[in-house]
Amino acid sequence: MPDSLDDNNNISKSTAYIIIMLGILALAFSAIMVKEANFEPATNAFLRCLIAFVVLAPFAYFERTKKGKLNKSGFLIAIGAGIFLGIDMTAWNYAIFFVGAGISSVLLNLQIIILPLLAMTFDKFKPAKSFWVLAPIMIFGIVLAGGIFDGDPVEGPAIIYGYPIAIVGTLLGVLSGICYGVYLFMSRKSGTLNPGIYVQPLMWVFLAQLIPQLFTMFFISDRGLDVSHGTLIGGMLPMNPEVTLGDPITASNWLWMLALAVIGHAMAWVFVQIGSVNLDSTIVAGLLLLSPIITVLVAPYTSGETISLLQGIGVVIVLGAVAYQNGLHKAVLGRLAGT
């Protein structure tokens, strides 16, 4: 039997590590690619998911011929999960432009609080006592990371839609984290109903993502589907982004959009999904923590982003709380003790 397969037709751990790390790297650069593509946030999310759906469709068909059709329950859960992921991605895209790619990626980790709360509500899950201590600490770290206490930004607008941009961006990042937690909860349910089927659920998730994105474009945003002008001007958010159009969309922007959809969305989510179901959940949680860390470290060099001292402290608090909640400290202490 090849090393890449076991008796349950699952991939080996070594292959799973490689696949999930490729997916994590793709996710880490997705926020950066959103800014480089520079489409209006809701339009960006819509195009990203639509292209990813088209890319996955033939792979889903191939999977169906080899492993069978996704059952009805798995299909319905995938659609529901996709709607929440669509809200997550739309809100996250706005947060990327308002508070930065690095900070928005950190705010997404609020799902570490949402996921246990959902499991407590629907699965009678009892979290560790440390959860109730870490949750408020993490919320405090999120507030710091969003820049709410830092005053007006050095560059760009201080106010947007009549509110401080740090507050608006942080709230959107929090909304994305909440919806991401709901998505992860529903996605795990779907995975248990259809073991070994990876691509079909994600294809329907990508299609369902379009629903909240279309709603945002035509009922919340005043720009609709805008493929002519972006959000940033010369890489910076204009002083009045509510009414000012960004730079014209060029062939370069479309290339970044294709890279975002194919690598940062389709490949990233499929690879993370495959790795997640073939590795220990604690290991997966620790590996996924690398994604926002990479984004925070790389964003200053790719997008010219800077963070304040308070924001840096908030980032450390959030990532530290996520690491502790996932039991990574036990793994590190065990390794140091040689157990």
Series of mean pLDDT values for 10-residue runs along the chain (339 residues): 43 87 93 96 97 96 92 91 95 94 87 80 78 86 83 78 92 93 80 79 95 95 94 93 94 98 94 81 72 88 84 88 72 60
- Residue 314 CA to its chain's centroid (Å): 19
Q: Which of 194, 180, 159, 223 has the alpha carbon at shortest distance from 74?
A: 194
Read off the tokens for 81. Answer: 């999960």
Count, residues in the chain: 339
Q: Structural domain boundaries of the chain?
A: 22-336
pLDDT at position 4: 42
Tens digit of each residue's pLDDT (9 = 90 or more) over 241-257 = 988 999 999 999 999 99
What's the pLDDT at 6?
42
Q: Could you identify the residue written with the tokens 């790795």?
A: 275
The pLDDT of residue 334 is 63
What does the DSSP 8-state code read for residue 274?
A: H
Please, which contacts does 250-254 make with residues 24 or more away whose CB atoms are closer than 8 Å? 253/36, 253/37, 253/38, 253/39, 254/37
Environment class of residue 22 by beta-carbon count within 10 Å: exposed (0-12), middle (13-18) or buried (19+)? middle
pLDDT of res. 338? 61
